Structure 1
Amino acid sequence: MARHPHAEAAPPARVVQAQALRRLVQALVERSGSSPIEAERVAHHLVDADLSGHDTHGVAMLPRYLENLRTGGLVANRELVVVHDHGALVTLDGQAGYGQVIGAQAMALGIERARVHGVAVLGLANSHHLGRIGAYAEQCLDAGLVSIHFVNVVTQPLVAPFGGSDARLATNPMCVGLPMGPALEPLLLDFATSRIAMGKVHEAQRQGRPLPPGAAIDAEGRPSRDPGVMLQEPRGALLPLGAHKGYGLAVACELLAGALTGGLTLHQPRAAGAIINNMLSILVDPERLGTAAHLAAQAHAFADWVKASPPTRESGVMLPGEPEAASRRRRRAEGIALDAATWAGLLAAGSVLGIEDAALLALAEGG
C-alpha cells in the first residue's frame, strides 16, 4: 500500500447531490448504448445504493460495468426471458443484461404471482451483476411482501472455504425483507457471506485504508490487512463470515442460486472481469397467509424488546435496515461523497465514451 496502513482516509474529491449524480450516471450508460429507460433504471439503482450507504455497490461499479460491456460480459438492452412457467414457480434467464433492470423485472413478475398464489419462487439465472440485493427486497416490501434471496456470483474465486487456504467461492450474498407494520421501518437484512464484500477491498484500496482484522489471507495463507493481496497476483483470499457458519451459508447460496435456478456454480477459474449473478427468490404475501396483522403486532413487540437493551454505542441497538434508512435521510440532505478514485473512474469512463470532463462536471454540479 502506498499510504501508511493505519492512515486516515482521504477527504472526498467531490460531494454530489443524488439527482445530479443520477443524471451523470444516466448520461454515461446511455452513451454506452443503453436505451434512455435502461440508463435511467441503472442510474437510479446505483445512486440509491450510495444513498443507502452501500458505496461498494454504487456508482463506483460503473467503470467495471462499462468495461464488461466492451468485452461482451454485459449486453445492453436485454429483457428478462421466462424459461419455465408453472404459476407460482418460474425460472428466468437474464441474458447477461444489466442486473439492475433484469432483477427489477424479475421481482415485478414475482410480486404479480405472489398476489395470485400467495407465494412465488423465482429462479433467475445468467444476469449481469445485480447490484445491491436489498433493492429487490425493498421492491417486495413496497408491495407488502416478505422476501428471501439467495445469490451466487460466477466470477473469479474470491473467498477461501473454511479450512482451506485459497479462493474457491465468491462473496455470495443473501437478503431478507420483512414488513414490520406501519410504525416501523421494514426489516432489511442484506449481507455477503464473506467477512467483507469485495467492494470493501476496492474501497479500502481507493481510500488507503487497511482491511479489518481477520478479513483476508495472502497467497501463502497468512493473515493480511493489505487490500493489495486481493488485487495483485498471486492473489490471496477473503475469509468466510463467522468461520464454518458463514462458509456453510455460502455453500447453500452457491447451490440454491447457481444450481437450482438453472444457472452455473463456481467450479473453475474465471476471468477477473466477469461478474454473472444467479438468484433464487422466495416471495410470501402475509395477507394471503392470514398472518399480516399478527406479524405486525409481534414485530413491534419484538423490536421494542430488543431495542430496549442498554446501549454499548452511541447509536444504540438498531434493527437491520435502520442504518440504511438513516443513511438515506442524511445523504439526501448532505449529498453523496465520492472519493478521488471513484470520481476519476467516472471521468475516465466518460473520456472513453467521448464525453468531456467539463460536461460531466456540469452534470455533477446540477447543470
Structure 2
Amino acid sequence: MAHYVTIPIPAASLQDLVQRIFEAAGCAPGEAHRVAEHLLGANLAGHDSHGVARVPRYVEWLEKGYVLAGQKVETITDGGGFVLLDGKFGLGQSVAREAAAIGISRAVTSGACIVGLRNAGHVGRIGEYAEQAIRDGILSIHFVNVAGSVLVAPFGGVERRFSTAPFCVGVPLPGDPVLLDFATSRVAEGKVLVASNGGKALPDDALIEPDGSMSGDPHTLYGDYAQVGPRDAAGGLGAIRAFGEHKGSGLAMICELLGGVLTGGGACGPITERGRIANGMLSIYLSPKHFGTEAEFHAAGRSYVDWVRAAKPIDPALPVLAPGDSEARLRADRLANGVPLQPDTWEGIKRCAIALGVAVP
C-alpha cells in the first residue's frame, strides 16, 4: 500500500481555525460555525474530498460573489407534501441544512415530503443531511447534481457530460443506522484535489484522456498547477470516469435529471464557460412510523444488516461492512488522534487564513 505524509491536526483546533477563517471572510459566527462543523465532519468521516481542503476554494468563491453569505431559502412552490426551494446561491451548508429541516419536519408530521432545492452553493458531504434526518427517525434519499461543473465522461465516451452527481440514502436503524453516500463518478473531484496536494494517489483508471487512455494523474483534470494553490478543472483536457461502467453512468444521468432539471437549477451542461457553480438536490423524506409498526421495521432492519455483516469474508482480517461502518470507525479514530492533512493542504489553509488576518495556531 502506498504511503504519503500527513500532519495530524487536533479536530477542535482545526474547526476553530476554519470557523475564524469564514468569519473573516464575511460570514456571521453562526454560519461560519455551520460551515466549519460540516467541513470537519467530512474529514472525520473519511471524506477528505469534501473536508477542509475546500476552505481556500470556498473563500475564493465568497470573494468573487459566486456564493453568498447569510442567505435563506426562498419558497418557489409549496404543495404541503412537496416543496421547491431556491437557495439563492447561499453557502450550501446553510441553505441545504435549512431545506433538509423543512422536509424532515413535514415527514415527521405527515409521513412523507419531497423537497427540491436549486441554486445552492456547494452543499458538501450529502451524508450529513441524511444524518440530520436519521436523528429524527426519518429515512431519506437524495439525488444531487452540480450545475456549471462538467467533469465526468459518460460510459463509452471521453468528453465531459456529467457533474460528479452524488447519490445518498440514509436508513434510521436505532444505534446502527445505514448510510450510503457516494459520487456517481469513479472518484469525487475532491479526491482529485486531495491527490494533487500530495494526498492519496488516484486509481490508475480514475480519469480518462482525450485519446481514451486511462489515467490516475490529477493533471489530466486540472492541467498545469502550482504545488500549493488553486486548481481549475477547466484547465485539463481529460475527464473523470463514471463509476460502475454503464450502471454508474446511468445513475449519474438520473441525478442530473432529478437534482438539476426537475428542480429548475439546470443540468451541469452544456455551458460555454466556468465560474459560478450551483448544487441542485431532490430529497425524499419518509417516516417509518407512518409506514407501519416502526419497532418491526427497526428489528427486521437490524437483523438483516447484521446477517449481511456476518457473511464469510474473503480476507478474515477484513470483515464485511455495511454502508457507514468505515465512516463511524474513522470518526472515532480522528477525534482521538487528529485529522490527517497533507502538508500542501495544510499550507493552503494557512495561507488562506493569513491572507484574511487570521492567526494560525
Structure-2 separation of matches of 1:270 and 1:197: 23
Q: Displacement of 1:84 after TM fit?
A: 1.2
Equivalent residue, structure 2, for 1:263: 265
1:121-140 equivalent positions in 2, closer than 5 A: 121-140=114-133
Equivalent residue, structure 1, for 2:144: 151
How big is each residue's C-alpha offset from its partner over 1:306-329, in whole Å with a ceiling of 9 and x where there is no partner? Answer: 112112232300100111111111
Aligned 8 A contact 2:149 2:269 in 1: no
Q: 1:100 to 1:208 in 2, by over 3 A?
A: closer
Aligned counterpart in structure 2 of residue 347 of structure 1, from 325, 350, 353: 350
Secondary structure of the residue that 1:200 maps to in structure 2?
helix
Letter in 2 for 1:216: L
Aligned counterpart in structure 2 of residue 315 of structure 1, from 301, 313, 318: 318
Aligned 8 A contact 1:195 1:215 in 2: yes
Aligned 8 A contact 2:354 2:360 in 1: no
Percent identity of equivalent pairs: 44
Q: Displacement of 1:155 after TM fit?
A: 3.0
Letter in 1 for 2:190: G
Structure-2 separation of matches of 1:120 and 1:227: 40
Structure-1 separation of matches of 2:270 and 2:166: 20
Structure-2 separation of matches of 1:344 and 1:296: 46
Aligned counterpart in structure 2 of residue 101 of structure 1, from 94, 99, 103: 94
Letter in 2 for 1:327: L
Aligned 8 A contact 1:153 1:278 in 2: yes
- 2:215 is the counterpart of 1:224: yes
Which moved further from structure 2: 268-277 or 110-119? 268-277
Aligned counterpart in structure 2 of residue 212 of structure 1, from 169, 178, 203: 203
Equivalent residue, structure 1, for 2:83: 90
Aligned 8 A contact 2:68 2:89 in 1: yes
Equivalent residue, structure 2, for 1:246: 248
Secondary structure of the residue that 1:189 maps to in structure 2?
strand
Aligned pair count reads 349
- 2:284 is the counterpart of 1:282: yes
1:1-367 equivalent positions in 2, closer than 5 A: 8-12=2-6, 14-182=7-175, 185-207=176-198, 210-232=201-223, 233-269=235-271, 271-313=273-315, 314-355=317-358, 359-361=359-361
Aligned 8 A contact 2:90 2:120 in 1: yes
How big is each residue's C-alpha offset from its partner over 1:71-126, in whole Å with a ceiling of 9 and x where there is no partner? Answer: 11111111111111111110001111110111111111111111221101000000
- Structure 1: unaligned runs, 5 residues or longer: 1-5, 362-367
TM-score (norm 1): 0.92
How big is each residue's C-alpha offset from its partner over 1:127-161, in whole Å with a ceiling of 9 and x where there is no partner? Answer: 00000000000000000000000000113311111
Q: Displacement of 1:18 after TM fit?
A: 1.4
Q: Displacement of 1:340 after TM fit?
A: 0.8
Secondary structure of the residue that 2:285 maps to in structure 1?
strand
User: What is the Cα-based RMSD across aligned positions, in Å?
Assistant: 1.5
Secondary structure of the residue that 2:197 maps to in structure 1?
helix
Structure-2 separation of matches of 1:346 and 1:271: 27
Structure-1 separation of matches of 2:248 and 2:102: 30
Q: Displacement of 1:351 after TM fit?
A: 2.5
- Structure 2: unaligned runs, 5 residues or longer: 224-234
Secondary structure of the residue that 1:319 maps to in structure 2?
coil
Aligned 8 A contact 1:149 1:176 in 2: yes
Q: Displacement of 1:294 after TM fit?
A: 2.1
Q: 1:208 to 1:128 in 2, by over 3 A?
A: closer
Structure-2 separation of matches of 1:266 and 1:325: 32
Q: Displacement of 1:299 after TM fit?
A: 1.2
Aligned 8 A contact 1:156 1:271 in 2: no
Q: Displacement of 1:300 after TM fit?
A: 1.9
User: Which 4+ stretches in 1 moved above 6 angstroms?
Assistant: none
TM-score (norm 2): 0.93
